Structure 1
């Protein structure tokens, strides 16, 4: 699955901020549910894939600000594919949601790091032995 947010023209994956008292895995499952409208019973976590970090600049009140982000990736399966966005997805700022077979999704995401994580998901699904814990 890939998503397009209202704030950009790129395609990415569900993600979000960790809520107080929440584990990284709980955050991943919650964000997928919020951004797709899937129910808790429709999302099953399989394994941790890894993390990426990146920096980007923003401008606020005439100042240049350097932002640093770390994104953790989990492989999750879903019981059903929804072609339409749920109302909750729109509240999350999602413009479009598309489902693809994993090999095709690897080619369609906008960022090389995301493609690398999707490739790791493919390895895990093929019995590649991934499944560590987040650092």
Structure 2
């Protein structure tokens, strides 16, 4: 993994969690903790507001955000596969929402990534939910909204 990619991954991992340890980052990125420490220092020098405390972990200061980035071809295919597999296990309303979300994502992808994602001919082999189970799932989902 290129260093620039690793730095971006560090930011993504830290901002996606409340506290993130250097050990966790090292394991996820398959680098040494020393490399993580250097990368965190480099991000700080570039103005990324990462706060850290020895033995506790790192977190992003409130208000920091990165602009959205595009998905790679493989990430787009993974999204399509995930939605296709999930659709057969969701109640009808939530399955429609998953399909709507996927359509929005596909609409903004670059043409090559969209073509790669749409070419993934995966349809989940799992049997559809029976109507009673689907009704129970709908009731549980609606109760938590």
Q: Which structure shows the higher strand fraction?
A: 1
TM-score (norm 1): 0.21
Larger Rg: 2
Q: Which structure shows the higher helix fraction?
A: 2
Higher relative contact order (CA 8 A, sep 6+): 1
TM-score (norm 2): 0.20
